[in-house]
Structure 1
Amino acid sequence: MVVSNIKDVKGMKIEGPVVKAMTKRVLISPKEGWEGYVMRLFDLEEGGYSPRHSHPWPHINYIISGKGILHIDGKDYEVEEGSYAYVPENKIHQFLNRGKETFRFICIVPEEGDQ
């Protein structure tokens, strides 16, 4: 069992040629007792984006704050606070912040998806 607050979870900044202004926090994982799954929190700062990629596992997303674009297999979807999405396995996808405030979302993946 775990009861906590995101303020208590250290974020890992991620930058590189295919990702910009992204921070990742692992909130719940097998370490906390949730076998097989991982719940992560991502922040994309203004102008930030996740890598455009695909993988052999699905994931579930919930937008907590901000506005952005979720690109899935050639189509762009506008998302904002309260939006949610299921991204099937092997689909090319990417999140992009299109606002001035932080774009924050939860991403739940099978354990093998947390790399």
Structure 2
Amino acid sequence: MLVSHEINVKLVELKSDTFKNVKGKVLISPACGSDVNVLRLFEVGQDGFSANHKHDYPHYIYVLEGEGTMEMDGKKTPVVAGSFAFVPNNIQHQLVNTTKTGRLLRFLCMVPVEGHVGFGD
């Protein structure tokens, strides 16, 4: 069992050639007993974007703050705080921070354990 706050979780700068200006926190994972899903919090900085990719598992996204575009299967949809998305298996997708004020695009992303990669843990 776990009850905590995001301020207690280390923010990790994620590095890859496939995304830009992205940091993240692993909130719930096998490390705390979750053997099915992993809940991550991502922060995409100004002019940043997540990887434009697809994979063979679904995942769920909930936007906490900022403005952006959810690109999914060739369609771009604006997102703001309160927006959410279900990304089915094998659908090309990407989140892009479109704010012009330097604000972060912050969102939660839940994936199955096998989909949790890129944090070095």
Taking structure 2 as the reference length, the TM-score comes to: 0.91
Spell out the pairing of 1:1-115 with structure 2 (5 A cutoff). Answer: 1-99=1-99, 100=101, 101-115=103-117
Q: For 1:35 and 1:15, how far apart are their aligned partners in 2?
A: 26
The 1:16–1:31 alpha-carbon spacing in structure 2 relative to 1, beyond 3 Å, is closer
Q: Deviation of residue 8 (structure 1)?
A: 1.1
Q: Percent identity?
A: 39
Per the alignment, in what secondary structure is the counterpart of residue 16 of structure 1?
Answer: coil
Q: For 2:78 and 2:56, how far apart are their aligned partners in 1?
A: 24
Residues paired across the two proteins, number: 115
Structure 2 gaps, min length 5: none
Q: For 2:60 and 2:106, how far apart are their aligned partners in 1?
A: 14
Please tell me the residue identity of whatever aligns with 2:104: T
Please say which of residues 97-106 and 16-25 is displaced more in the overlay.
16-25
Please say which of residues 54-63 and 26-35 is displaced more in the overlay.
26-35
Q: Deviation of residue 4 (structure 1)?
A: 1.1
Q: Which runs of 4+ in 1 moved over 6 A?
A: none
Please tell me the residue identity of whatever aligns with 1:30: P
Taking structure 1 as the reference length, the TM-score comes to: 0.96
Aligned-CA RMSD value = 0.9
Instruction: Please state which structure has a larger fraction of its residues in strand.
Output: 1
Q: Deviation of residue 73 (structure 1)?
A: 0.8
Structure 1 gaps, min length 5: none
